[in-house]
Structure 1
Amino acid sequence: MSGSTHIGISGWRYAPWRGKFYPPGLVQRRELEYASGQLPSIEINGSFYALQRPESYAAWYTATPPGFVFAVKGNRFITHMLRLKVAGKPLANVLASGVFMLREKLGPMLWQFPPNFSFEPERFEAFLALLPHDTHAAAELAKGHEKRMEGRVALDPGPRRPMRHAVEIRHDSFIDPVFIALLRKYKVALVVADTAGKWPRIEDVTADFMYVRLHGDKELYASGYDDRAIEHWARKIRAWRDGGQPHDACLASDKAPRKRSKRDVYCYFDNDIKVHAPFDAQRLIAALRD
């Protein structure tokens, strides 16, 4: 038995895509509706730059078809500005801002760290320990949001659902078995990031799912993936999806992950500058069907 795969794109509102991926004349407000008809999953990018509002999450839910899945990028105030110091209330703000409005379409939350953020085990563990693993626990945490959020929160989590978290690192100090052990302890996935060699690529399995971000294999955010590269990633995804690990995985720890019969895999293309992302995602989906 295999896990499920969710292949998509990071964000959907890009001017260069208009007339190339998006049909000529398509109004901007219908771009998500169109993109979600072409791909089964999208990473919400705007939540990284600013807290979004409940009505936006509700509109995104309505614009997408049944079975669609969103990943939500955590706010950079926590990861880049606070650098995980005193993260409790800011995390509550993120959870209160409307993510529950995605209901059953809520997939993993992504926490991306800057290239100058190095691994400090105690600080990192304190953050991992805060992350809720179901929507009811998240709603309890969300109640601690700052007063400035009043009037723009959504605190009803609906039925209890799992919440997954993944972290993307960009500093060599994270190539450390201690880091891998911490992720496994808190059941948080390590993002496998292809960054044209600019930042570390670590492929240790640390949770019951995998999260992959493909930023470009030759030129960051710009280069497309040729057929050979698409098949390379399809092979890796098949191995993870079937509960295993690729034979050529780049590992930071010599300890094997917990054995599973299957894993879900989320994979997002972020090579958007030259309009490769949506088409590469479609090609990878086709390759995984073969």
Structure 2
Amino acid sequence: MSIIRIGIGGWTYEPWRGTFYPEKWAQKRELDYAAEHVTAIEINGTYYGSQKPATFASWAAAVPDGFVFTLKASRYCTNRKVLAETGESIAKFVGQGIVELGDKLGPILWQFMATKKFDADDFGAFLKLLPAKQDGIALRHAIQVRHESFAVPEFVALCRDVGVAIVYADSAEYPAIADVTGDFVYARLESAEERFVAGYAPHALDDWAAKAKLWAAGGRPEGLPYVTEAAPKKAARETFVFFINGAKVRAPQGAMALIERV
């Protein structure tokens, strides 16, 4: 079985103060605290603006060995009518200093708006623009699409050909694709409810723990929406599971509860 990393989106969120972070905990030490209780964090701020190399270096220094950050790619890369023309923006994003994270750099998440429809030629061109390395550091890429037009074998094949992972999102709002297309798995649990202490009912957490273990072992969980019948070669895969959106106030409790189960 490969490594299973479980985390939350960001670490600066006011409702977590006093519910996740202890009362009067210094805000400048919130990343330190979060990194002691989850094993990965998806950074959303990189979607809205670039960061300085020193900022990435400081994040890396604040977390323990083995911790991983995933980065949401800039909106200037994904919110385009013609994706084939985004090469310059992609280069700017990966060149801003993300390599300062070193071995704490996880996959880059390329998230598309729900209105973005599948265009095989344009999307295929975009996938080919995603760099395999930056300054000698290997890069991994995950794609989150949220329009039903992507649920076709051609899209799955495009991603599988270049080794880009399709994000599986547990969402009540958008269609999901569970086909495994990369050498890692990236799942986002977006349907948390505040009525549950951990965002999801205990039996649901048990089920996600079982799915995470199966993904990590190279398996194909049953009961998920697959586009194709063909499964990729069975091999251990690093697996990322994030509690994000939904009832965000419950996200840390959800992540910690899932960590206990796996």
Q: Under TM normalisation by the shorter chain, which class is it?
A: over 0.9
CA contact (8 A) 1:211 1:266 kept: yes
- Asked whether 1:257 is paired with 2:232, we answer yes
Distance between the aligned counterparts of 1:273 and 1:283, measured in 2?
15
The 1:193/1:274 distance shift into structure 2, 3 A limit, reads closer
Following TM superposition, by how much is the alpha carbon of 1:120 offset from its aligned partner in structure 2, in angstroms?
0.4
After superposition, the C-alpha distances for 1:201-236 in whole angstroms (9 at most, x for unaligned) are: 1100101110001111568xxx91110111111111
Unaligned runs of 5+ in 2: none
Matching residue of 2:99: 100
Distance between the aligned counterparts of 1:33 and 1:10, measured in 2?
15
- Asked whether 1:229 is paired with 2:204, we answer yes
Match of 2:245 among 260, 271, 284: 271
Q: Give the letter aligned to residue 159 of structure 2.
A: L
- TM-score by length of structure 2 reads 0.94
Distance between the aligned counterparts of 2:52 and 2:81, measured in 1?
22
Match of 2:221 among 246, 264, 267: 246
- Asked whether 1:78 is paired with 2:71, we answer no
> Partner of 2:79: helix, strand, or coil?
helix
- Asked whether 1:25 is paired with 2:1, we answer no
- Asked whether 1:281 is paired with 2:251, we answer no
> Partner of 1:216: helix, strand, or coil?
coil
Q: How many correspondences in the alignment?
A: 260
Distance between the aligned counterparts of 2:210 and 2:61, measured in 1?
34
User: Percent sequence identity over matched residues?
Assistant: 42
Distance between the aligned counterparts of 2:178 and 2:73, measured in 1?
21
Distance between the aligned counterparts of 1:162 and 1:230, measured in 2?
32
CA contact (8 A) 1:213 1:270 kept: yes
CA contact (8 A) 1:268 1:281 kept: yes
Range with bigger deviation, 272-281 or 115-124 = 272-281
> Partner of 2:132: helix, strand, or coil?
coil
Following TM superposition, by how much is the alpha carbon of 1:256 offset from its aligned partner in structure 2, in angstroms?
2.1
Moved >6 Å (runs of 4+)? none
- TM-score by length of structure 1 reads 0.85
Distance between the aligned counterparts of 2:39 and 2:179, measured in 1?
25
Q: CA RMSD in A?
A: 1.8
> Partner of 1:275: helix, strand, or coil?
helix
CA contact (8 A) 1:194 1:217 kept: no
Following TM superposition, by how much is the alpha carbon of 1:81 offset from its aligned partner in structure 2, in angstroms?
4.0
CA contact (8 A) 2:4 2:213 kept: no
The 1:164/1:281 distance shift into structure 2, 3 A limit, reads same
Matching residue of 1:184: 160
Unaligned runs of 5+ in 1: 139-156
